[in-house]
Each structure stands twice: as structure tokens, then as C-alpha cells.
Amino acid sequence: MNFQSINIRLNKRLMILLILICFSCKLQAQSNEAQTYYRNITEVLKNPQNVRILNLSGSKLTTLPGEIGKLQNLQLLNLDDNQLIALPKEIGRLQKLESLGLDHNQLNALPKEIGKLQKLQTNLVT
């Protein structure tokens, strides 16, 4: 057996190992993402530190509980298509919030605390 054929075998094994590692990482990332996406406010409040994405669109909400401020790691909050007339001031505690969807609600004003959200990039209100 020559050095070149040994090198080729090692390269093939390394490639297979790298592919398996990448696949494993992708599965882990998908698993983590699935654990941080929620559609139920009651479920969210049981373990608020894990919540990254909260989609409450079309939930017929008229109010949002002040406990929303406990979701310290929340990055995306979708409240589109509800019947909200106001937001709680505790929304200003969501320091990691990047996207806030408020489209199709009954909001007349936003709380001044929303100005504390320095990472907020998207705020859709119509």
C-alpha cells in the first residue's frame, strides 16, 4: 500500500466525519429552534427564559398581560391580527426584541417604554 492511497482513504473518512458533524449540528439547531417558538401565552409563561419567538397572531387578544416583560430572551413578537387596544408598559423590558408585529389591531398609541427597545428593528403597525 502506498502513501497516496492511505491519504485518499483518510481524506474520505474525514469528509464523511465532517458531513456527519455538520448534519448533527443542523439537527441540534433545528431542535433548539423548535423549543424556542411558541404560539400560546400560557405555555410561554411556564418557562419564560427559553422563549425566543412568540407568535400570537390571530389569537383574538384584547389585552396583553404585563407578564410579557418576563420574556427576557424574546427576539420576535408577532401580535398581528388581534384586537389589542393598548400594550402594557412592561413591553419595555424586552431588551432583546428585534421584531414586533402589531398590524391590524385597535391601537391608538404605543407606550413610551417601547422607546427603550434598542434592538428593535421592525415595528409594523397599521
Query: Is residue 69 a contact partner of residue 91, using CB atoms and an 8 Å limit?
Result: yes
pLDDT of residue 72: 94
Q: Are strands 122-124 and 37-38 parallel, antiparallel or unpaired?
A: unpaired
Q: Is 64 helix (H, G, I), strand (E, B) or coil?
A: coil
Q: Which of 24, 31, 29, 125 is nearest to 79 (CA)?
A: 125
Q: Round to whole Å and give the CA distance between 55 and 34.
A: 13
pLDDT of residue 47: 86
Consecutive 10-residue averages of pLDDT for the chain (126 residues): 56 61 54 62 87 92 95 94 96 95 92 93 67
Q: Kindly report the length of the chain.
A: 126
pLDDT of residue 8: 56
pLDDT of residue 12: 60
Q: Which residue has the cell 415595528?
A: 123
CA 53 to chain centre: 3
Q: Is the pTM of this model over 0.75?
A: no
